[in-house]
Amino acid sequence: MDLQTLTYIVVGLSFALYFGIAIWARAGTTGEYYAAGRGVHPVANGMATAADWMSAASFISMAGLIAFQGYDASIFLMGWTGGYVLLALCLAPYLRKFGKFTVPDFIGDRYYSRTARIVAVICLIVASLTYVIGQMKGIGVAFSRFLDVDYATGLYAGMGIVFFYAVLGGMKGVTYTQIAQYCVLIFAYTVPAIFISLNLTNNPIPQLGFLSDTADGTPLLVKLDQTLVDLGFAEYTAQKGGTFNMLMYTLSLMMGTAGLPHVIIRFFTVPKVSDARSSAGWALLFIAILYTTAPAVGSMARLNLTNTIQPGPVGSAEGNLAYADRPDWFKKWETTGLLAFEDKNGDGRIQYYNDKNPEFAAKAESFGWKGNEMVKVDRDIMVLANPEIANLPNWVIALVAAGGLAAALSTAAGLLLAMSTAISHDLLKRTFMPDISEKNELMSARIAMAGAILVAGYLGLNPPGFAAQVVALAFGLAASSIFPVLMMGIFSTKVNNSGAVAGMLVGLVSTLVYIFTYKGWFFVAGTEMLANTPDNWFLGVSPEAFGALGALLNFATAFIVSNMTAPVPDDIRQMVEDIRFPKGAGEAHDH
């Protein structure tokens, strides 16, 4: 059976499963739409949380970034995983104890302020919308390859799928769909990794394979280092970025993870506080399977790609692949527009090297090369293309397509749900329309989600970076705005409503301004835009890493303003003390 037909069958069966679950678990009440009726088993919730959290950035983009950044990309492994531990230990059980439906619900009641609730909704929407752009990028990449169409058409197809099952099922439908999606994505990620590890190192365990020797007796990472150096690239295992920026980047990802509303609300779906703790542990176990495999996938993908384009000695006539002889996977990814070649010297062969390296550029010129001819290699294609590059069986390639789609769709649905509940529950029900009926509230949530899908799809057509880079910006926004106010709300009785509002605004605005300034989105006529380079960054901190400094500004502002304004009322202080001793689960209620 040919690859296209097999891919249609595998992906079609997975979609049929998702749709069937969405119809079976269709939400009929706001409790089911917002929190799945609080009846999800801890193990099932752990699996759904893992799928919700392991997005297109984890499945599709992270290994691609590791493939091209090497050691420096370890910040994603440390930041995202460490952040989940922070969330599980410091936030999830206490927020479940509080017994609300949403993050703004907690902030509004803890800080006894309608303004705090509204500002929290704004922070949530900004962070979640930025995050969902990254998911839409992943959806577009996966669908474009699966359907053999351009990126934009693939994105539109993915939007239609998300619209159907997320709008229909709410949290109840999304939860059980995500359980199925986790099974699909983890199987799709690990099976190809096992095959490729066997091919390259004869070791079936990818986590050990990328530390093992290749067929010629050379350790895989040593061989990769030498291959890249021969083409003018930096060593794969060398640190290339500044240490302080790596630290800030890691902290930003950690705090951003712990402050992501769409992950936090997953812990509102279990019956008891003890179940929230238990499901956090299960989720970490399920997440670890993919995250310990990603370094192997990234390193092996880069070696396979480089060896395919540069099969012979550097500079020799037979060293570079003839464009006419390019393999089928190359042609198919060219169709998507995510892989592009330009024959700069007219010799019909593909020169792939680092033309930004002055020393190697001079050497390349002596070969008659006119510049790197792989003018576009989108990092986000690496995981999906890797099985094809490695000539794995068609069923494995089809499985990876289904896994990539499952990862992108699961997180997109969770993010869109978080935004829709913030609008319908926190803005309408709890703030502007307290008398709205449950039926109309549910309808408002679905309309809000449909609108969010359209906005996210539009922005996904022109994303500001690779999926993981866009997601990193979202984590920075969550770290600077939401995480500090949650931590202070649980562990401090001194921060009042004025401090919380001021802190959130300072953290959010400072991070947005910094990101917009260096990403070129913030431009005033008559001024010269700052180049997005380490020399121009404040303290050498990149836009993706500024969330850690934004969080520091949030904490400092909140405490300073709180000390200058009225103290926290006694009943709120008592409520905070009660939250920190989770002896039982509170029931969700509106008042």
Are 317 and 433 in a shared domain?
no
Whether 285 maps to a domain, the answer reads: yes
Are 361 and 391 in a shared domain?
no
Write out pLDDT tens, residues 373-393. Answer: 998 888 878 888 888 888 888
Whether 549 maps to a domain, the answer reads: yes
The kind and range of the H/E element at 340 are strand 339-340
Residue 175 or residue 483, greater confidence: 483
Q: In this predicted structure, what is the pLDDT of residue 25?
A: 62
Are 191 and 43 in a shared domain?
yes
Residue 473 tokens, joined: 């910006």
User: Can you tell me whether residue 318 is helix, strand or coil?
Assistant: coil
Q: What is the mean pLDDT of the chain?
A: 82
Whether 584 maps to a domain, the answer reads: no
Burial tier of 510 (Cβ tally within 10 Å: 0-12, 13-18, 19+): buried
Which of the residue ranges 337-341, 359-363, 369-373, 413-417 would you say has the lowest mean pLDDT? 413-417
Are 441 and 425 in a shared domain?
yes
Q: In this predicted structure, what is the pLDDT of residue 530?
A: 63
Rounded Cα–Cα distance for residues 51 and 518 (Å): 32
Q: Looking up tokens 């996904």, which residue turns up? A: 460
Whether 567 maps to a domain, the answer reads: yes
pLDDT for residue 107 is more than 60:
yes
Residue 376, strand partner residues:
340
Q: Looking up tokens 């994303």, which residue turns up? A: 463
Q: In this predicted structure, what is the pLDDT of residue 526?
A: 41
Residue 571 tokens, joined: 């009943």
Residue 213, strand partner residues:
219
Query: Among candidates 538, 7, 71, 83, which has minimal Cα distance to 283?
Result: 83
As for how many domains the chain has, the answer is 2
Q: In this predicted structure, what is the pLDDT of residue 300?
A: 92
| pTM for the whole structure | 0.80
The CATH number of the domain holding residue 178 is 1.20.1730.10
Burial tier of 4 (Cβ tally within 10 Å: 0-12, 13-18, 19+): middle
Give the burial string for 291-328 (b: 16+ CB within 10 Å, else e): bebbbbbbbbbbbbbbbbbbeeebbeeeebbeeeebee
Mean pLDDT on 178-195? 87
The kind and range of the H/E element at 376 are strand 376-377
Q: Taking the C-alpha atoms of 335, 339, 343 and 347 in order, what is their torsion angle to the nearest 10 degrees?
A: -90
Position 586 confidence tier, pLDDT thresholds 50, 70, 90: very low
Write out pLDDT tens, residues 432-469. Answer: 787 888 778 778 877 887 888 888 788 777 765 555 56
Are 377 and 395 in a shared domain?
no
Whether 590 maps to a domain, the answer reads: no
Position 171 confidence tier, pLDDT thresholds 50, 70, 90: low
Query: Among candidates 412, 291, 409, 310, which has minimal Cα distance to 369?
Result: 310
How many CB atoms within 10 Å of residue 152?
15
Q: In this predicted structure, what is the pLDDT of residue 341?
A: 92
Position 184 confidence tier, pLDDT thresholds 50, 70, 90: confident
Domain boundary among 383, 406, 441: 383
pLDDT for residue 309 is more than 80:
yes
How many CB atoms within 10 Å of residue 564?
11
Give every CB contact of residue 466 below 8 A, 6+ residues apart in sequence.
Answer: 61, 64, 65, 137, 378, 379, 380
Are 109 and 231 in a shared domain?
yes
Domain boundary among 339, 356, 383: 383
Residue 326 tokens, joined: 């390019």
Q: In this predicted structure, what is the pLDDT of residue 591?
A: 46
Residue 423 tokens, joined: 């609008």
User: Can you tell me whether residue 569 is helix, strand or coil?
Assistant: coil
Rounded Cα–Cα distance for residues 515 and 545 (Å): 10
Write out pLDDT tens, residues 197-207. Answer: 999 999 999 99
Q: Which residue range(s) make up the domain with 160?
A: 3-301+387-579
Are 328 and 295 in a shared domain?
no
Rounded Cα–Cα distance for residues 311 and 326 (Å): 12
Rounded Cα–Cα distance for residues 263 and 272 (Å): 17
Whether 352 maps to a domain, the answer reads: yes
Four-residue CA torsion sign, 455, 459, 461, 467: negative
Mean pLDDT on 66-81? 87
Rounded Cα–Cα distance for residues 189 and 386 (Å): 11
Are 225 and 290 in a shared domain?
yes
Whether 408 maps to a domain, the answer reads: yes
Give every CB contact of residue 490 below 8 A, 6+ residues apart in sequence.
Answer: 90, 91, 94, 95, 576, 579, 580
Residue 11 tokens, joined: 């992906």
Are 181 and 319 in a shared domain?
no
**pLDDT cut 70: percent of the chain above it:** 89
Write out pLDDT tens, residues 20-38. Answer: 877 776 655 555 555 455 5
C-beta separation of 56 from 409 below 8 A: no
C-beta separation of 366 from 52 below 8 A: no
Q: Taking the C-alpha atoms of 172, 117, 586 and 436 in order, what is their torsion angle to the nearest 10 degrees?
A: -60
Whether 591 maps to a domain, the answer reads: no
C-alpha 53 chain-centroid distance: 7
Q: In this predicted structure, what is the pLDDT of residue 417?
A: 75
Rounded Cα–Cα distance for residues 540 and 369 (Å): 35
Among 270-284, 313-327, 489-503, the range with the most confident prediction by mean pLDDT is 489-503
pLDDT for residue 524 is more than 50:
no
Are 391 and 367 in a shared domain?
no
Query: Among candidates 191, 574, 215, 216, which has minimal Cα distance to 386?
Result: 191
Which of the residue ranges 145-154, 342-351, 409-418 would you say has the lowest mean pLDDT? 409-418
DSSP summary character for residue 543: G
Q: In this predicted structure, what is the pLDDT of residue 549?
A: 95
Q: If you write DSSP's letter for every residue of 32-86 in order, what string do you get?
A: HHHHGGG---HHHHHHHHHHHHS-HIIIIIHHHHHHHHGGGGHHHHHHHHHHHHH
Among 372-376, 506-510, 534-538, the range with the most confident prediction by mean pLDDT is 506-510
Domain boundary among 383, 402, 422: 383
Are 147 and 277 in a shared domain?
yes
How many CB atoms within 10 Å of residue 278?
18
Burial tier of 272 (Cβ tally within 10 Å: 0-12, 13-18, 19+): middle
Mean pLDDT on 195-217? 90
Are 279 and 150 in a shared domain?
yes
